Amino acid sequence: MEALSHIQFVLAAPKNAENKFGGYKYRTAESILEAVKPLLNETGSSVTLSDDLVLVGDRYYVKATATLTCKSESFSVSAFAREALQQKGMVEPMLTGSSSSYARKYALNGLFAIDNSEQDPDTKDNRNYEPVEEVCRTGQVEAIEKLITESNSDKSVFCNYFSIKSISELKQKDHATAVKMLNAKIKNGAK
């Protein structure tokens, strides 16, 4: 599926939520969806999410499925999260909702090949975590440069807007904004 390959190559899903108690940043299902929307529009694709409750032994798991559809093709990835027996300050529906959010995030991570580097709070001890502002990957930089050309934008104005000296310095956290902005300029220019 060409659309999925393109999205996996270009997508930047920043870790823009912060756990103040743990002192680390993380991404949410909502932030992944926000980052992928311009690429869905660009590729003529859509993404849907669904949940099922699955009983395994005496415990319930939420099975979240993320599906990308483009024309007549679709590709799905599922992920599971177990409901906690109890969580301080949460009623039972909140436990299910929390499990759903967690499972959906990992289904989206799998579908879009989002790398959970060792800075991911689920993969390491975060007591000494210091967030790093990562720059865009080569494919993302190439896609931005292509959009700049297609939109007849001035590279120096673009760089000044994001306070960078070259496109290769664009931060992951700014990628989705840049794509959205350039696609809007292309769309408005086509009218």
- 62, 53 in Cβ contact below 8 A? yes
Asked if residue 10 and residue 94 are part of one domain, the reply reads yes
Q: What pLDDT does 139 receive?
A: 79
Q: In this predicted structure, what is the pLDDT of residue 46?
A: 96
Q: Domain for residue 161, yes or no?
A: yes
**Distances from the Cα of 188 to the Cα of 48, 79, 151, 191, angstroms:** 28, 39, 9, 6
Residue 130 lies in a domain: no
Range(s) of the domain holding residue 74: 2-111
pLDDT score of 93: 67
Confidence (pLDDT) at 26 = 84
Residue 122 maps to a domain: no
Question: In residues, how long is the chain?
Answer: 191
Q: Which residues of the chain have pLDDT under 70?
A: 83-95, 116-133, 190-191
- Name residue 50's beta-bridge partners: 65
7 is a domain residue: yes
Q: Are residues 13 and 105 in the same domain?
A: yes
The residue out of 75, 96, 111 marking a domain boundary is 111
Q: For residues 113 and 110, give the distance between their C-alpha atoms in angstroms, rounded to a whole number.
A: 5
With the CA atoms of 40, 107, 27 and 82 taken in that order, what torsion angle do they form, in degrees rounded to the nearest 10? 150
Give CA torsion, residues 135, 67, 107, 78, to 10 deg: -150
Q: What is the pLDDT of residue 70?
A: 94
